[in-house]
Amino acid sequence: MAQANLRYFGLPPSPPLIGARLRPPQGTRPALQELLEALGTSEYNAGPDQRPSAGFFRNPSLPIRRVTSTLTPPAVQVAATRDAYGVALAELGKDNPEIIVLDADLSGSTRTKTFAQAFPKRFFNMGVAESNMMGTAAGLAAMGKVVFASSFAMFAAGKAWEPIRQTVCIPNLNVKICATHAGLTVGEDGKSHQMLEDLALMQVLPNMTVIVPADSIEAKLAIRAVAAHDGPVYVRLSRAKTPVIFDEDYVFKIGRGTQVRAGNDLALVACGVELSAALEAAEILAAEGVNARVINMATIKPLDKDILVAAARDCGAVLTAEEHQAIGGLGSAVSQLLAHHAPVPIEVVGVRDSFGESATADQLLEKYGLDAQSIASRSRDLLRRKNA
């Protein structure tokens, strides 16, 4: 079972992390610094839809800073996973001449523009035509290319679902769908743009691998792993800048969950932006004497059975948290697996059968019960059920 090195998380850990070094933010080391600088100085950071959000957490005790090019010791680094995607793509373009990138008129927002500028001959803007983009990606892949196709999650996974099924998944082609602007944290654009069903739509497809990076470090590593992986992959990325959680020593492996906090009272299993919320919830619970194990489940499919079964056996209760419908995402996948292999009380934190709306990312996470306080309160419910 892997135990991650946590780079930083807001409050002091309690109990101490087993086998993990919790480094103060000043300990930023060159590799991480390089990535953060690349992100912070990326010209797209000033792009049209990049007005900085005030902060990601509601908890005012957690100071949030934007990533800037000058890394004077910040309290918490924040960066968007889509930014890491752009940086990773541009690096991969150097390593592998077979990589082709497609976008559908959102290259500034998805960050594929980084690749487009470095490798203009291997970038194709397909216009506002997502279904056509996926079919084209499949054809390129059938000719031996490694294709990254990007749009907002809503349009990549939603609009182009059937072409993905028919032309990418059935022939099992090497297409990497890297979709940004997933979930409620899209914010003010509202429900038409807040994709809360993509994990359901993607994990149900045979041959598809589904990955949700929790921070920019993991996103960058995941993109490298995805490029090396043979077959269709869906990677879910975020618009919002979220806390950097992992250390640059972190090792990402497709299909492997990672324990990021030790504890045996209950297990919080989270993916994407909810990992930060789960870690914060664990600190809230720790102050009440409850020791929560926190697991980052970056790969939704295939699920890491070992880490989940161990968590269920050790803790006797599992809460899942995702920025997605409570139906059909991480919670459904984990529930199904544990129902077979280690049945325990389960609490699924997600959006409860509703669409989103226009507001700031923070307001929406709170309103739809995806913030740390909500996870802590649902954890208390779960513990009552466990102990009943």
Partner 1 sequence: MTLTPKKQQEIEAVARQIRVDIVEMVHAAACGHPGGPLGMADFMATLWVEHMGIEPGNLHDPKRDRFVLGNGHTCAGLYAVLAHKGIIPREMLKSFRKLGSPLQGHPHKNPELGIDMSTGSLGTGLSTAQGMALAAKINGWPTRVYVTSSDGESEEGQIWEAATSAAHYGLANLTVLVDFNNIQIDGVMREVMDVRDLREKYAAFGWHAIDVDGHDIAAIDAALCAAREETARPSALICHTTIGKGVSFMEGKASWHGVAPNDAEAQEALAELSV
Q: Contact residues for partner 1 (CB under 8 A)?
A: 48-49, 51, 103, 105-109, 113, 125-129, 131-132, 154-155, 158-159, 187-193, 357-360, 363-364, 367
Q: Which pairing describes strands 318-325 and 346-351: parallel, antiparallel, or unpaired? A: parallel
Nearer to partner 1, 193 or 261 (CB): 193
- The one-letter amino acid code at 363 reads Q
Select the binding partner of residue 249 from ligand TPP, partner 1, none (C-beta < 5 to 8 A, by kind). none
Smallest gap from Cβ 152 to ligand TPP, in A, equals: 6
Smallest gap from Cβ 192 to partner 1, in A, equals: 3
Smallest gap from Cβ 189 to partner 1, in A, equals: 4
Nearer to partner 1, 51 or 121 (CB): 51
Q: Which of 128, 143, 287, 339 binds ligand TPP (CB under 6 A)?
A: 128
CB atoms within 10 A of CB 106: 21
Nearer to ligand TPP, 159 or 239 (CB): 159
Is 161 near ligand TPP (CB under 6 A)? no
CB-based burial label for 384 (10 Å; 0-12, 13-18, 19+): exposed
Select the binding partner of residue 122 from partner 1, ligand TPP, none (C-beta < 5 to 8 A, by kind). none
Is 159 near ligand TPP (CB under 6 A)? yes
- How far is residue 117's CA from residue 42's CA, in Å, rounded to a whole number? 12
- In 96-215, which ranges are continuous DSSP H helix? 107-110, 113-118, 130-142, 153, 161-163, 198-203
Nearer to partner 1, 46 or 388 (CB): 46
Smallest gap from Cβ 77 to ligand TPP, in A, equals: 29
CB-based burial label for 296 (10 Å; 0-12, 13-18, 19+): buried
Smallest gap from Cβ 68 to partner 1, in A, equals: 19
Judge if the upstream peptide bond of residue 13 is cis by omega within 30 degrees of 0: no
- Residue 380: its H or E element: helix 372-387
Give the residue carrying structure tokens 């699920």.
Answer: 303
Select the binding partner of residue 187 from partner 1, ligand TPP, none (C-beta < 5 to 8 A, by kind). partner 1
CB-based burial label for 43 (10 Å; 0-12, 13-18, 19+): exposed
Q: Please compute, for residue 258, the number of CA atoms within 13 A of its CA located in the half-sphere on the CB side.
A: 26
**Number of amino acids touching ligand TPP (CB under 6 A):** 5
SS (H, E, C) 210-279: EECCCCHHHHHHHHHHHHHCCCCEEEECCCCCEECCECCCCCCCCCCCEEEECCCCEEEEECCCHHHHHH
Nearer to partner 1, 204 or 359 (CB): 359
C-beta separation of 365 from 371 below 8 A: yes
Tokens describing residue 52:
């900085």
Is 143 near ligand TPP (CB under 6 A)? no
Is 278 near ligand TPP (CB under 6 A)? no
Select the binding partner of residue 25 from partner 1, ligand TPP, none (C-beta < 5 to 8 A, by kind). none
- Residue 289: its H or E element: none
Tokens describing residue 10:
């807001």
Is 105 near ligand TPP (CB under 6 A)? yes
Is 155 near ligand TPP (CB under 6 A)? yes
Smallest gap from Cβ 164 to partner 1, in A, equals: 15
Instruction: Tell me whether residue 130 is one of the annotated catalytic residues.
Output: yes
Nearer to ligand TPP, 159 or 236 (CB): 159
Q: Which residue of the chain is nearest ligand TPP when measured via CB? A: 105
- 3 state DSSP class of 106: coil
Nearer to partner 1, 106 or 317 (CB): 106
Select the binding partner of residue 126 from partner 1, ligand TPP, none (C-beta < 5 to 8 A, by kind). partner 1
CA 198 from chain centre, in angstroms, equals 12
- 3 state DSSP class of 177: strand
Is 246 near ligand TPP (CB under 6 A)? no
Q: Which of 80, 106, 156, 376 binds ligand TPP (CB under 6 A)?
A: 106
Q: Which of 130, 218, 283, 322 is catalytic?
A: 130
Residues making contact with ligand TPP (CB under 6 A):
105-106, 128, 155, 159
Residues carrying an active site annotation: 130
